């Protein structure tokens, strides 16, 4: 079972590589077939086996013999490991797979935000669906529903005020709200605390490096690291 989960992780890692590449190049995710980065030749099935293809082809494309980025097998391996770790730590298999999927998806979104300063609503929508799955039954208790409604309203207002002044993108706020759906009140507090800690630290470092007040932060990596850290703490402590 562990091997199956690891292989599943590497396949998804490979898929997330394609997602990042195609989003940055503004190509469609669903079609057309995968092509070589260099000569645009259509890749066949055996060129796209996670990890194995890279090693069989000795790190080169099979069509035009150009060097493949080491980032491909590394991120496939890392995603496989992530899935394996969460499978070992998390007792509930479905929750484990959804958490691992969400974490690798957030990493892809972070890379896209870092490189393009863009956040896509379709990606936030996928995060929202995953969060609703993760929230399970607690979502339907009255107090939880009430506190979540208050949280959503406060953050929408805050996001609106901050985004018209250009401090933060509205998409970033919607992402925070979507992730928060899966968290209870205590976890939310930790989440916001970690986020301000990481955000403050990154802002501080960037300010002293560039001496520029108007440096534009990529918020998705900050939001994602806070959420991932929280999930790691939960997995270890609970």
**Footprint on this chain of Zn ion (rule: CB under 5 A):** 36, 38-39, 41, 61, 63-64
∠ CA 106-107-113, rounded to 5°: 85
Least Å distance between CB 29 and Zn ion? 21
Taking the C-alpha atoms of residue 221 and residue 27, their distance in angstroms, rounded to an integer, is 23
Q: How far apart are CA 135 and CA 206, in angstroms?
A: 35
Shortest reach from residue 38's CB to Zn ion, in Å? 4
- Measured from the CB of residue 76, what is the shortest distance to Zn ion in angstroms? 19
Q: Which is nearer to Zn ion, 42 or 210 (CB)?
A: 42
Q: How far apart are CA 173 and CA 165, in angstroms?
A: 14
SS3 148: helix
**Is-contact 170 160, C-beta < 8 A?**
yes
- Judged by CB, which is closer to Zn ion: 63, or 156? 63
Nearer to Zn ion, 36 or 95 (CB): 36
Residue nearest to Zn ion (CB): 36
68 or 103: whose CB is closer to Zn ion? 68
Nearer to Zn ion, 38 or 201 (CB): 38
User: What Å distances lie between residue 203 and 51, 93, 114, 217, 229, CA to CA?
Assistant: 36, 37, 14, 7, 19
Shortest approach of Zn ion to residue 35 CB, angstroms? 8
For the bound state, the minimum distance from the C-beta of residue 37 to Zn ion, rounded and expressed in Å, comes to 7
């Amino acid at each position: 079972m562990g091997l199956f989960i690891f292989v599943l992780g590497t396949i998804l890692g490979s898929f997330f590589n394609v997602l990042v590449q195609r989003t940055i190049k503004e190509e469609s995710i669903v079609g057309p077939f995968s092509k070589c980065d260099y000569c645009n030749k259509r890749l066949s099935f055996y060129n796209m086996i996670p990890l194995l293809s890279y090693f069989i082809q000795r790190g080169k494309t099979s069509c035009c013999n150009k060097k493949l980025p080491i980032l491909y097998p590394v991120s496939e391996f890392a995603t496989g490991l992530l899935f394996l770790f969460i499978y070992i730590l998390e007792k509930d298999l479905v929750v484990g797979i959804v958490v691992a999927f969400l974490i690798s998806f957030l990493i892809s979104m972070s890379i896209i935000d870092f490189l393009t300063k863009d956040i896509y609503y379709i990606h936030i929508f996928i995060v929202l669906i995953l969060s609703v799955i993760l929230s399970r039954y607690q979502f339907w208790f009255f107090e939880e529903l009430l506190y979540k409604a208050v949280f959503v309203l406060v953050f929408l207002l805050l996001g609106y005020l901050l985004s018209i002044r250009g401090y933060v993108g509205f998409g970033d706020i919607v992402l925070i709200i979507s992730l928060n759906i899966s968290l209870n009140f205590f976890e939310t507090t930790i989440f916001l605390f970690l986020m301000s800690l990481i955000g403050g630290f990154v802002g501080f470092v960037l300010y002293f490096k560039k001496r520029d007040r108007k440096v534009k932060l990529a918020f998705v990596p900050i939001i994602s690291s806070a959420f991932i850290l929280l999930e790691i703490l939960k997995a270890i402590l609970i």
